[in-house]
Structure 1
Amino acid sequence: MERKIFLKSLIIGAASTSALAAACKKDDTASTTSTGSSSASTPPSSSNGCAVAPTETEGPFPTHTPASYVRSDITDGRTGYKLTVKIIILSNSNSCNPLANAMVDIWHCDKDGNYSEYGGSGMQATDYTSVHFLRGRQTTDTSGLVTYTSIFPGWYSGRSTHIHVHVYNSSGTSLKVTQIAFPEGSGSAVAQVNGYSKGLTGYTYNASDNVFSDSYATEIAAVTGNTTDGFVLTMSISV
Structure 2
Amino acid sequence: MSTDERWIDENGDPIDEDHRGLVYDIRTLVDRRRALGIFGGIAATALLAACAPQTTGSEASEAPQGAPGGAPPAEDDSDLLEGEVPNETAGPYPADGSNGVNVLDDSGIVRSDIRSSFGSSQTTAAGVSLEIVLTVRDAATGSALAGAGVYLWHCDRDGNYSLYSDAAKDENYLRGVQQTDEDGTVRFTSIYPACYSGRWPHIHFEVYEDVDTAVATGPIVKTSQIALPEEANAKVYATSGYEQSVRNASQVTLTGDNVFGDDGGIHQIATMTGSVSGGYTAALTIAV
TM-score range, shorter chain: 0.7 to 0.9
Q: Which runs of 5+ in 2 are unaligned?
A: 1-65, 96-101, 117-123, 214-218
Q: What is the aligned-residue RMSD (CA, Å)? A: 2.2
Do the aligned partners of 2:196 and 2:245 also contact (CA within 8 Å) in 1? no
2:197 paired residue number: 157
Equivalent residue pairs, number: 196
State the Cα distance separating 1:26 from its structure 2 match.
6.0
Do the aligned partners of 1:139 and 1:146 also contact (CA within 8 Å) in 2? yes
Aligned identity (percent) is 36
Within 5 A, what are the aligned runs for 1:148-187?
148-170=188-210, 172=213, 173-184=219-230
Tell me how far apart the structure 2 counterparts of residues 148 and 79 of structure 1 sit (CA, whole Å): 16
1:57 is paired with a residue whose SS is coil
2:94 to 50, 59, 62: 62
Tell me how far apart the structure 2 counterparts of residues 209 and 101 of structure 1 sit (CA, whole Å): 32
Within 5 A, what are the aligned runs for 1:1-239?
27-28=74-75, 41-43=76-78, 45-47=80-82, 51-63=83-95, 64-68=102-106, 69-76=109-116, 77-93=124-140, 95-119=141-165, 126-170=166-210, 172=213, 173-184=219-230, 188-194=231-237, 196-203=242-249, 204-215=252-263, 216-239=265-288
TM-score, length basis structure 2: 0.63
Tell me how far apart the structure 1 counterparts of residues 130 and 114 of structure 2 sit (CA, whole Å): 10
Q: Which runs of 5+ in 1 are unaligned?
A: 1-7, 11-18, 29-40, 120-125
Tell me how far apart the structure 2 counterparts of residues 163 and 235 of structure 1 sit (CA, whole Å): 11
Tell me how far apart the structure 1 counterparts of residues 275 and 79 of structure 2 sit (CA, whole Å): 33
Do the aligned partners of 1:222 and 1:233 also contact (CA within 8 Å) in 2? yes
Q: Residue type of the partner of 2:93? A: F
Tell me how far apart the structure 2 counterparts of residues 78 and 52 of structure 1 sit (CA, whole Å): 32
Tell me how far apart the structure 1 counterparts of residues 79 and 133 of structure 2 sit (CA, whole Å): 22
Do the aligned partners of 2:195 and 2:248 also contact (CA within 8 Å) in 1? no
TM-score, length basis structure 1: 0.76
Q: Which runs of 4+ in 1 moved over 6 A?
A: none
Q: Which has the higher helix share?
A: 2
Q: Residue type of the partner of 1:45? A: L
Tell me how far apart the structure 2 counterparts of residues 89 and 180 of structure 1 sit (CA, whole Å): 13
User: Comparing 166-175 with 195-204, which one deviates more in the overlay?
Assistant: 195-204
